[in-house]
Amino acid sequence: MAKVEQPMQALAAYLPENCFEEVVNYLVKYKVHLTITRARKSVMGNYKSAYKGDNHKISVNGNLNKYSFLVTLLHELAHLLTFEKYGSRVQSHGREWKAIYSWLLADFLKKHIFPDDVVKAISESIHNPGASACAEDGLMRALRKYDAHAPNKVLLETLPPGTHFLYSDKTYKKGKKRTKRFECIEVDSKKMYLFSPVCEVEVVRYKSFGQDK
């Protein structure tokens, strides 16, 4: 999906019910240039501060489900509000940003927008939110229930150790869990990488005469 810049009303299709007007109020008040972009593996959204008269810029992946889209947008709005209050004097995901992001999440939780499992996951992390939803396994697990899943994709945590899987066109072998992440070996390079337990992967189905590499 290429970048999409549309009239504000088109944003409603990407959001859950009962939050469009408040979201638009923030975008209009702070003159945000919002871009809905293609799926990006490394980020779900991005914020760039206003510079030399330019507008604040926020981009959000257009392939996200509505609840993930809203959480990501609030994450980026928190960056904007942090910049408005503190400028560039504070860390990107420091305590100032966390306080503002927590406040935004709490405000939107009051509107009964999210399903119960997402509310629970947000509530459990709201006092110390992670740098991204991807960094919060409980929240990501809850949000992904509302994705339009590809039939061949599964969460890494559901696979037994030793399973071969595909991720970004590379084959990996699942290893042991280290604290919060799984050690996985990239088959061709033999390098070890750490994967989130809620990473979506595709199981490699070997034929009977070539079960293992």
- The residue ranges of every structural domain in the chain are 8-144, 153-210
Q: What's residue 54's pLDDT?
A: 86
Average pLDDT over residues 67-71: 96
Q: What is the pLDDT of residues 102-150, one digit of tens each?
A: 999 999 999 999 999 999 999 998 888 876 666 678 898 899 889 887 6
Q: How far is CA 1 from CA 4, 37, 120, in A?
A: 8, 7, 32
Contact 153, 166 (CB under 8 A): no
Q: What is the pLDDT of residues 160-205, one digit of tens each?
A: 999 999 998 999 999 999 988 999 999 999 999 999 998 889 999 8
Contacts of residue 40, defined as CB under 8 A and 6 or more positions apart, other chains included, come to: 61
Q: Could you tell me the maximum CA-CA distance found in the chain, to the nearest angstrom? A: 64
Looking up tokens 């504000």 gives 8
By C-alpha distance, which of 47, 120, 116 is closest to 84? 47
Contact 79, 92 (CB under 8 A): yes
By C-alpha distance, which of 188, 65, 78, 182 is closest to 118? 65
Using DSSP, state whether 176 is helix, strand or coil.
strand
pLDDT higher at 30 or 132: 30
Query: Token pair of 9, please?
Result: 């009303």
- 4 DSSP 8-state letter: B
Pairing of strands 32-37, 56-61: parallel
d(CA 14, CA 8): 11
Using DSSP, state whether 106 is helix, strand or coil.
helix
CATH number corresponding to 153-210 = 2.30.30.30
Looking at the structure, give the CATH architecture of the domain made up of residues 8-144. Answer: 2-Layer Sandwich (3.30)
Average pLDDT over residues 68-89: 95
Mean residue pLDDT of the chain comes to 88
